[in-house]
Structure 1
Amino acid sequence: MAITPAAYKSAGEAERGFDGLRMGADALVARITHVRDGIGWIWVVPGSRTLPEVRSSRAYERYATCQNAFRRFVVLLAKQPALELPDPGRPLRPSDAR
Structure 2
Amino acid sequence: MKAPNGRVVAITPATFDTPGEAERGFDGLRAGAAELTARITHVRDGIGWIWVIPGSRTLPEVRSSRAYERYATCQNAFRRFVVLLAKQPARELPPRELPSKTVPLRRPDGR
**TM-score, length-scaled by structure 1:** 0.89
Whichever structure has more strand as a proportion of its residues is 1
5 Å matches for 1:3-14?
3-14=11-22
Where do residues 1-98 of structure 1 align in structure 2 (5 Å cutoff)?
1-89=9-97
Runs of 4+ aligned residues of structure 1 deviating over 2 Å after TM superposition are none
**Counterpart Cα distance in 2 of 1:38 and 1:70:** 20
The number of equivalent residue pairs is: 91
Task: Give the gaps of 5 or more residues in structure 1.
Answer: 92-98
Q: Percent identity?
A: 82
SS state of the match for residue 32, structure 1?
strand
CA distance in 1, matches of 2:88, 2:45: 34
* C-alpha displacement of 1:90: 7.8
Q: CA deviation at 1:88?
A: 2.3
How big is the alpha-carbon RMSD for the aligned residues of Structure 1 and Structure 2? 1.2
Highest relative contact order (Cα 8 Å, sep 6+), 1 or 2?
Answer: 1
**Structure number, greater radius of gyration:** 2
The Cα of 1:67 is off from its aligned counterpart by 0.2
Counterpart secondary structure, 1:70? helix
Distance of 1:70 and 1:90 partners within structure 2 = 34
Q: Note the C-alpha offset of 1:55.
A: 0.2
State the TM-score, normalizing by the size of structure 2: 0.79
Task: State the alpha-carbon separation in 2 of the partners of residues 90 and 81 from structure 1.
Answer: 26
Q: Deviations over 1:52-81 (max 9, x none)?
A: 110000000000000000000000000100
